[in-house]
Chains A and B, each alone.
Chain A
Amino acid sequence: MFYQNIRRNLKIFLKSKLGITGTAIIAFFLLLAIFAPFLTNNNPIFGINVSSPYSVPAWTTFIPRYQNLPPTENTVTGGQFTSQGDLSSWTFTGSNYNDSLTSIPVEGANQSGILIAQTFAPNSSQIVSRLVPGQPLISFSQAFPYTYKPPTSFVASAVVRPISMNNVSVIYINFLLSSASHNYSLGSVNSYTIRNEITLTSADLGKTNRINISSGLLPSSGNPSFPITSSPAGLVFSTNGTYHFGVQVLAVGSGQSASYSIAIGNVSFQIIGRAYGLLGTDVYGRDIWSQFVWGSQVSILVGVLSALGAVLIGTVTGLAAGLVGGWTDEIISRITDFFLVIPFLPLAVVVIFFLGQNPALFKGIYYWIILLFVALSWPTVTRIVRSQVLIVKERAFVEASRALGGGSGHIMRKHILPNVLGLVYAQTALLVPGFILTEAALDFLAVGTHPITTITWGIMLTDALNNAALTNAAVDYAWWWFLPPGIAIALLSLAFVMVGYALDNVFNPKLRRR
């Protein structure tokens, strides 16, 4: 009979548009929370900067204002040197050299790379200088198209390991970059120097060096819609067209004959773009999507667990007060009276303030918040359940059941509980939005007081407010940062309200008629 009831109630619930919409929204966020680890690779809290500060969401580039903003991408293909195919994607210049595939130990693991070996006759009568003839110069480069607005910056990187140096004092490594009109060396003596070159001497023999050359970041207030011309990256990529990127090896030797060999691997040329991912990046260039996805966990967890806890305690105490009556009822009612007048947020602030003073306690802050929410809201449920029990207890069918010899356990199971439970389901759903909103407000008030160990929607919003993203017209008020968490909080709260109303409709036949 009980299961028939469930099926009938489910049917009524499924007929309600409100209930269906609400359930769908909750299911969406639940999936987001559960599959967070699979939906994003980026660490939401101390994540690396995945793109420029205030990168717009990648999909917005169809809007004229954001058109052609570059994505973050590695322009190099075959920089890993794992196969002959990788080798042939590069154009080599130079003479009297050998190249072959090799492996380079990098941090314990072996990576593939290219081994360049060369024997040459240095011109000993010359003063040793890099640009004099007689010193060998080898480079390998490849072309790539660039069709976007200028990027914020770029990073060239590689792993190098000098294997042997005979009569060779220094090996220089340069990154080359050339556009249609200019040749840049990311480290050389010509006028377009961005960084000094990498110098390897015999002290580096057999050691793996990681090279990273960045053009430098712009100030974070950079406007996403206009060309960045004041930065090195803006100067280099001021026009669209074909660019060349390559690596140059230059050795300085002495004596009759000199030779060296060097392994190079993991060559990449990263253009740090201004459009990234589903939700763009924040003021530090961190991925907002990953923050958003992981943030859903706390909101749902705090909202649902608090509601379940409050409803559990509230139902038990409400049933006790209503069924037992007498002193039990009096004591429970006085306690609920007390809890109902305590100002919620000031108390929460005081408790969080206290927890902030005790780092050991503060680690489980969200569990403390749940406890606090349960402690302060079970009395509301108690009151509702108690009054419902008092009403049901006096109904004729209960009296009839008692007259037929039904024990108090039987009456409670068969008559009181089914009539109270519907109300309890609805109440659970209706409690959740308040908890979600209050949790966000607490994040907002408490963020300055402690290191952030968990990301939440509330913390995201606070971050956006504190970094004055909202008044920064230069980045279009960072709408992609500020809107999503707020909309998500509102939607999720609204969804629980919808489900609550729909459940109320199912279990409250009086409402259905109205």
Chain B
Amino acid sequence: MSLKRYVARRAVYTVALVFVIIAFNFVLFQILPFTTSCPGATYNQCVISLYVPPPPAKAGNLSAIYQQHINLVMKQYGFDQPIPTRFVLYVQDMILWQFGYNIGSAIAGPVATTILQKLPYTLMLIGLSTIAAFIVGIGMGVVAAARRGRIVDIGSLAGALFFNALPTFWLGGLLIVIQILIGIGGYKSVGLATAGLTGMSATVATLESLWLPLLTLTLVSIGAVFLTMRATMIDVLAEDYIIMARAKGVQERTVLFRHALRNAIIPIVTLFALSLGFILAGAVVTETVFDWPGLGRAIYDGIVSNDFPFEQAIFFVISLMVLLANFAVDLVYGFLDPRIRTG
């Protein structure tokens, strides 16, 4: 298989998956009934009834006008169409980034705008913590593999397994308490820290609020990187070419970082793609605990305030992000490892 065909195949596959996600969303939110917010109604009827307030109890002939109004809105949004037509409209909306409006009390405005507003915060948190976790995890993995069975290895292994087993929100809460106990002072959420500040000082305050969620997310993500890195390094260090390098008197540091690390890094690339979903999951919880104004916190607020236009849109957007990241990694892989192209 040529590289072109490989890329084309992955692209078709990714697009197909996007459609499956959209179809899943459509069935879950547009076809199945909602009984809490609007008993017996589907998503559309529910949205309509929320947008068009019902007439007063003793309205008399007003209710006919009310019904007309509803029918008008139903028609305007295409909700009176048969399900296949509605599905086409829905797919169109998703592609055009038309997600409707937030209906919860927590956030207001178009869903697409909300997502774009909150995305940078999440990307900042996820990006920085992923970089930190990968640097520390890879470094620790190399050292642990080189010192296999020694105290450094056992200690970091135990530490990694321990942090891997901690609930994210528990660790977050614990860090808040520890911060208070060691006398740095209480944690301030971004909203509180930047209140009344503008420009440079607002940025500084935001960064001050960032470090604790960043630490939490990094600590829970390090474990997987470390364990993978350690395992591959141990495999690679047993290879003949490492013995050869050592035999000809290459410095240990050069052996580790030039010969071994280069070959052990490939599985880490896969791990990055696979762990994106998990890091996002961690971000939802971390942002909620620390009141960080990103997508994760918005997901939580959306659940609490029954904001379903936002929930279905965010699921679509996050899935899209993960799928694109996987696609990107597939491409990188194609370049990195010739066997995949040809095999």
Q: In the complex, are the beta carbons of B288 and A345 less than 8 A apart?
A: no
Q: In the complex, are the beta carbons of A359 and B36 less than 8 A apart?
A: yes
Q: In the complex, are the beta carbons of A486 and B166 less than 8 A apart?
A: yes
Inter-chain CA distance A490–B28, complex, in Å, is 34
Q: In the complex, are the beta carbons of A441 and B281 less than 8 A apart?
A: yes
Does more than half of chain B's interface fall in helix, strand or loop, or is it mixed?
A: helix
Q: In the complex, are the beta carbons of B162 and A489 less than 8 A apart?
A: no
The verdict on A356 contacting B36 (CB below 8 Å), with A346-B280, A346-B319, A514-B234 known, is yes
> Which residues of chain B have C-beta atoms less than 8 A from A340's C-beta?
274
The verdict on A346 contacting B234 (CB below 8 Å), with A437-B167, A486-B167, A490-B162 known, is no
Within 8 Å of chain B (Cβ to Cβ): is A181? no
Nearest to B181 among chain A residues (CB) is A477
Nearest to A354 among chain B residues (CB) is B28
Q: A472-494 vs B: 1/0 string, CB under 8 Å?
A: 01000101001001100111011
CB distance from B196 to the nearest CB of A (A): 22
Q: A209-225 vs B: 1/0 string, CB under 8 Å?
A: 00000000000000000
Q: Which stretch from A87-95, A263-271, A443-451 is at the chain B interface?
A: A443-451
The verdict on A338 contacting B165 (CB below 8 Å), with A343-B319, A343-B322, A446-B303 known, is no
Q: In the complex, are the beta carbons of B311 and A353 less than 8 A apart?
A: yes
Q: In the complex, are the beta carbons of A461 and B169 less than 8 A apart?
A: yes
Inter-chain CA distance A157–B17, complex, in Å, is 67
- Interface size class on chain A is 35 or more
Q: In the complex, are the beta carbons of B299 and A341 less than 8 A apart?
A: no
Q: Which stretch from B65-73, B89-97, B171-179 is at the chain A interface?
A: B171-179
Within 8 Å of chain A (Cβ to Cβ): is B180? yes
Residue total for B at the interface (Cβ-Cβ under 8 A): 57
Q: B121-158 vs A: 1/0 string, CB under 8 Å?
A: 00000000000000000000000000000000000000
CB distance from B45 to the nearest CB of A (A): 13
Within 8 Å of chain B (Cβ to Cβ): is A470? yes
The verdict on A441 contacting B285 (CB below 8 Å), with A350-B28, A489-B167 known, is yes
Nearest to A350 among chain B residues (CB) is B315
> Which residues of chain A have C-beta atoms less than 8 A from B225's C-beta?
none
Q: Which of A350, A448, A491 has the most CB of B within 10 A?
A: A350
> Which residues of chain A have C-beta atoms less than 8 A from B209's C-beta?
none
> Which residues of chain B have C-beta atoms less than 8 A from A477's C-beta?
177, 180
Q: Which of A449, A458, A486 contacts B174 (CB 8 A)?
A: A486
Inter-chain CA distance A346–B37, complex, in Å, is 21
Q: In the complex, are the beta carbons of A465 and B167 less than 8 A apart?
A: no
Inter-chain CA distance A354–B28, complex, in Å, is 7
Within 8 Å of chain B (Cβ to Cβ): is A342? yes
Q: B199-237 vs A: 1/0 string, CB under 8 Å?
A: 000000000000000000000000000000000001000
Q: Which of B168, B289, B323 contacts A341 (CB 8 A)?
A: B323
> Which residues of chain A have C-beta atoms less than 8 A from B161's C-beta?
494, 497
Inter-chain CA distance A191–B260, complex, in Å, is 86
CB distance from A345 to the nearest CB of B (A): 3
Q: In the complex, are the beta carbons of B300 and A465 less than 8 A apart?
A: no
CB distance from B99 to the nearest CB of A (A): 14
Which of chain B's residues 237-295 have a Cβ closer than 8 Å to chain A?
238, 274, 276-278, 280-281, 284-285, 288-289
Within 8 Å of chain A (Cβ to Cβ): is B34? yes
Which of chain A's residues 429-458 have a Cβ closer than 8 Å to chain B?
433, 437-438, 440-441, 444-446, 448-449, 458
Q: A340-377 vs B: 1/0 string, CB under 8 Å?
A: 11111111011111101111100000000000000000
Q: A379-417 vs B: 1/0 string, CB under 8 Å?
A: 000000000000000000000000000000000000000
The verdict on A357 contacting B34 (CB below 8 Å), with A433-B165, A494-B161 known, is yes
Q: In the complex, are the beta carbons of A458 and B17 less than 8 A apart?
A: no
Q: In the complex, are the beta carbons of A346 and B167 less than 8 A apart?
A: no
Within 8 Å of chain B (Cβ to Cβ): is A100? no
Inter-chain CA distance A433–B165, complex, in Å, is 7
Q: In the complex, are the beta carbons of B166 and A444 less than 8 A apart?
A: no
Nearest to A338 among chain B residues (CB) is B17
Within 8 Å of chain A (Cβ to Cβ): is B110? no
Nearest to B13 among chain A residues (CB) is A337
Q: In the complex, are the beta carbons of B34 and A358 less than 8 A apart?
A: yes
Within 8 Å of chain B (Cβ to Cβ): is A242? no
Nearest to B168 among chain A residues (CB) is A441
Nearest to B235 among chain A residues (CB) is A514
Nearest to B326 among chain A residues (CB) is A341
Within 8 Å of chain B (Cβ to Cβ): is A471? yes
> Which residues of chain B have C-beta atoms less than 8 A from A158's C-beta?
none
Within 8 Å of chain B (Cβ to Cβ): is A176? no
Within 8 Å of chain A (Cβ to Cβ): is B33? yes
CB distance from A427 to the nearest CB of B (A): 15
Inter-chain CA distance A342–B208, complex, in Å, is 33
> Which residues of chain B have C-beta atoms less than 8 A from A345's C-beta?
277-278, 280-281, 284
Q: Which of B162, B238, B284 contacts A445 (CB 8 A)?
A: B284
The verdict on A346 contacting B285 (CB below 8 Å), with A444-B169, A448-B304 known, is no
> Which residues of chain A have C-beta atoms less than 8 A from B319's C-beta?
342-343, 346-347
The verdict on A354 contacting B167 (CB below 8 Å), with A344-B278, A344-B281 known, is no
Inter-chain CA distance A474–B50, complex, in Å, is 44
Within 8 Å of chain A (Cβ to Cβ): is B312? yes
Q: In the complex, are the beta carbons of A458 and B167 less than 8 A apart?
A: yes
Q: Which of B165, B177, B284 contacts A437 (CB 8 A)?
A: B165
> Which residues of chain B have C-beta atoms less than 8 A from A33's C-beta?
none
Nearest to B283 among chain A residues (CB) is A345
Q: In the complex, are the beta carbons of B299 and A349 less than 8 A apart?
A: yes
Inter-chain CA distance A347–B34, complex, in Å, is 18
Within 8 Å of chain A (Cβ to Cβ): is B77? no
Q: In the complex, are the beta carbons of A464 and B173 less than 8 A apart?
A: yes
Within 8 Å of chain A (Cβ to Cβ): is B8? no
Q: Which of A353, A360, A458, A494 has the most CB of B within 10 A?
A: A353
Within 8 Å of chain A (Cβ to Cβ): is B78? no
Inter-chain CA distance A494–B13, complex, in Å, is 37
Nearest to B289 among chain A residues (CB) is A465
Within 8 Å of chain A (Cβ to Cβ): is B35? yes
Q: In the complex, are the beta carbons of A338 and B303 less than 8 A apart?
A: no
The 9 closest A-B pairs by CB, nearest first: A345-B281, A486-B170, A493-B165, A343-B277, A448-B304, A357-B34, A494-B165, A490-B165, A350-B315
**B interface vs A, CB < 8 Å?**
13, 17, 20-21, 25, 28-29, 32-37, 161-162, 164-171, 173-174, 176-177, 180, 186, 234, 238, 274, 276-278, 280-281, 284-285, 288-289, 299-300, 302-304, 306, 308, 311-312, 314-315, 318-319, 322-323, 326
Name 26 interchain pairs, CB-CB below 8 A, sorted by A. A341-B323, A343-B281, A346-B284, A346-B314, A346-B319, A347-B319, A349-B284, A349-B315, A353-B303, A356-B36, A357-B36, A358-B36, A441-B281, A441-B285, A445-B284, A445-B300, A445-B303, A449-B306, A458-B167, A461-B173, A462-B169, A477-B177, A486-B173, A489-B165, A493-B164, A514-B238
